[in-house]
Amino acid sequence: MGKKEQINDEKHKNTEKVQSVLQLLKKQAPLSVKQEKLCNGDCVERFLKVKGENVKKAAKHLRNCLNWRDSLGIDHLIADEFSAELAEGVAYVSGHDDESRPVLIFRIKQDYQKFHSQKLFTRLLVFTLEVAIQTMARSVEQFVILFDASFFRSASAFMNILLASLKIIADYYPGRLHKAFVIDPPSLFSYLWKGVKTFVDLAPLTMVVSSLDFEESLEFNDFTAYPRAASLRFNPSSISSNGKIGSCSSSRFSFTVSHHFDSVKPWYLSLTDTSSAKVGPTTNMGPAISPLNARSHSFASPIDRTPRGNNNIGPMKKGFFPSTPLPQKSKDMVDHSEIHHPRAHRPSFFQSPAMFFKRDGGKGQTISRVDKCRESFQPFLKFYRRPYDEMIYRSKMRPPLGGLISIVSPHIRRRHMSASQRF
């Protein structure tokens, strides 16, 4: 009974703080219908948690957030304003993770800020966040963001976009971010991030990863899951060939394919003339050299590169004609398969000596920050590699964010049904 009473007391205190925050807001200025709907109990609790359960600071922060939303016109955002961005997949909601949190992906190019203002980028960011919040279940309050920085060559240009995005999320969407991943940033980004992250509120939730670390994942290297990629792979069973693989001759040289896999090259070229028309006498010493079939001896096989009349050739495998002479085996030849080369350690910059004393559950293994970032990014890799579909993303939008199509189409359907019922 003691634990239940403590839980009830905490809930009662939280509700009292929430009511006091709402009273302070209403004293400053009356709230509209949309603002009252936005400032529910969960929203006020998030602001209180960020401000350390301080009622006055939470009320001031929430009032600033409401004024910012009115100045930006968030209640009037629709998808028709970002038709070009939606077509290219610049910012969208890719799906939901195992805990029903929406996963947002931002694939912004470096020249985006040259042709678009900072206000337009802010509106696009807020529009994507609002769509993600609409798709949340009642028990979910956070989302995950993936910043694809592979389109940037300048580290400072991407840093400006990242810092602006994280500041907006921290100031006007407190407690909403679960994790943020920066994928494939420019080479100098890590040095800039080390100097800046101490001043960023959401830096502990932001991780830098590389997609090259996940290329060996068998789950996503299977191209048969994508028919367009699978169609480009060569399938020898699809070709019905009645011809036999063998020698191919012409009036100048012959081309022969070897059936043995132990040869250096499975083919060789020779000057053996198989045509009936020859210029000069026909002898057993080799083909006659003429303007029709003259070629350099570099195209010839090792047999034809030997001097004429020298038939003292050692025993060779049947069908084994290497293009270059093989080295002679010596008795002291070392078997390279038995040599174990030591593996070089992966380079790590600014690694503290204290990392050697940090153990994982007593197993005696150290876990670096890079490995932790990889493990945390592994569940979201499928969202990053999933192809973008504009229609699927638009289907997740609810009115009025969905645009005129989502608003007008239900009225058109109702009107059509009523007209059909009349006649």
The residue that leads in pLDDT, 392 or 351, is 392
Question: What pLDDT digit, counting tens, does each position of 206-250 carry?
Answer: 999 998 888 765 444 444 444 433 334 445 554 555 544 455 545
Task: Select from 38, 72, 106 the last residue of a domain.
Answer: 72
The residue that leads in pLDDT, 28 or 282, is 28
Contacts of 131 (CB under 8 A, 6+ apart): 93, 396, 397, 401
Which sign does the torsion angle of CA 48, 53, 57, 59 carry?
positive
Confidence class for position 405, pLDDT limits 50, 70, 90: low
Confidence class for position 252, pLDDT limits 50, 70, 90: low
The residue that leads in pLDDT, 337 or 420, is 337
pLDDT of residue 2: 65
For residues 404 and 411, give the distance between their C-alpha atoms in angstroms, rounded to a whole number.
11
Q: Answer yes or no: do 68 and 81 share one domain.
A: no
Please, are residues 143 and 176 in contact by the beta-carbon 8 Å criterion? yes
In a domain, 368, yes or no: no
Q: Answer yes or no: do 62 and 161 share one domain.
A: no
For residues 382 and 330, give the distance between their C-alpha atoms in angstroms, rounded to a whole number.
53
Mean local confidence (pLDDT), 297-315: 50
In a domain, 229, yes or no: no
We report the CATH number of the domain holding residue 146 as: 3.40.525.10
For residues 125 and 138, give the distance between their C-alpha atoms in angstroms, rounded to a whole number.
22
Q: Answer yes or no: do 127 and 190 share one domain.
A: yes
Q: Out of 123-137, 310-324, 327-341, 360-374, give the one with best mean pLDDT.
A: 123-137
pLDDT at 116 > cutoff 80: yes
Tokens 């009511």 belong to 19
Tell how many helices (H) and how many strands (E) occur in the chain: 14, 8
Considering only the C-alpha atoms of the chain, give the largest distance between any 2 of them, rounded to a whole number of Å.
116
Q: Answer yes or no: do 82 and 98 share one domain.
A: yes
In a domain, 231, yes or no: no
Q: Answer yes or no: do 177 and 129 share one domain.
A: yes
pLDDT of residue 240: 52
In a domain, 241, yes or no: no
Q: What domain range includes position 110?
A: 77-209+388-395
For residues 410 and 405, give the distance between their C-alpha atoms in angstroms, rounded to a whole number.
9
Q: Answer yes or no: do 64 and 82 share one domain.
A: no
Q: Answer yes or no: do 36 and 87 share one domain.
A: no
Beta pairing partners, 105: 92, 146
Mean local confidence (pLDDT), 272-300: 49
**DSSP-assigned letter for residue 208:** E
Question: What pLDDT digit, counting tens, does each position of 5-18 carry?
Answer: 777 777 878 889 99
pLDDT of residue 51: 92
Q: What is the mean pLDDT of the chain?
A: 74
Task: Select from 72, 100, 131 the last residue of a domain.
Answer: 72
Confidence class for position 402, pLDDT limits 50, 70, 90: confident
pLDDT of residue 248: 53
The residue that leads in pLDDT, 283 or 179, is 179
Question: What pLDDT digit, counting tens, does each position of 346-372 carry?
Answer: 545 455 444 444 444 444 444 677 888
pLDDT of residue 6: 73
pLDDT of residue 330: 52
- Least Cα distance to 293 among 308, 281, 275, 309 occurs for 275
pLDDT at 278 > cutoff 80: no
**Cis peptide bond upstream of 236, omega within 30:** no
Question: What pLDDT digit, counting tens, does each position of 123-176 carry?
Answer: 999 999 999 999 999 899 999 999 999 999 999 999 999 999 999 999 999 999
Q: Answer yes or no: do 64 and 97 share one domain.
A: no
For residues 131 and 123, give the distance between their C-alpha atoms in angstroms, rounded to a whole number.
12
Question: Could you give the percent of the chain with pLDDT greater than 70?
Answer: 59
pLDDT of residue 338: 53
In a domain, 140, yes or no: yes
Q: Answer yes or no: do 21 and 130 share one domain.
A: no
Q: Answer yes or no: do 68 and 136 share one domain.
A: no
The residue that leads in pLDDT, 288 or 67, is 67
Task: Select from 72, 104, 125 the last residue of a domain.
Answer: 72
Q: Answer yes or no: do 21 and 100 share one domain.
A: no
3-state SS class at 139: coil
Question: What pLDDT digit, counting tens, does each position of 183-208 carry?
Answer: 999 999 999 999 999 999 999 999 99
Q: Answer yes or no: do 66 and 88 share one domain.
A: no
In a domain, 328, yes or no: no
In a domain, 148, yes or no: yes
The residue that leads in pLDDT, 399 or 392, is 392
Number of domains in the chain: 2
In a domain, 60, yes or no: yes
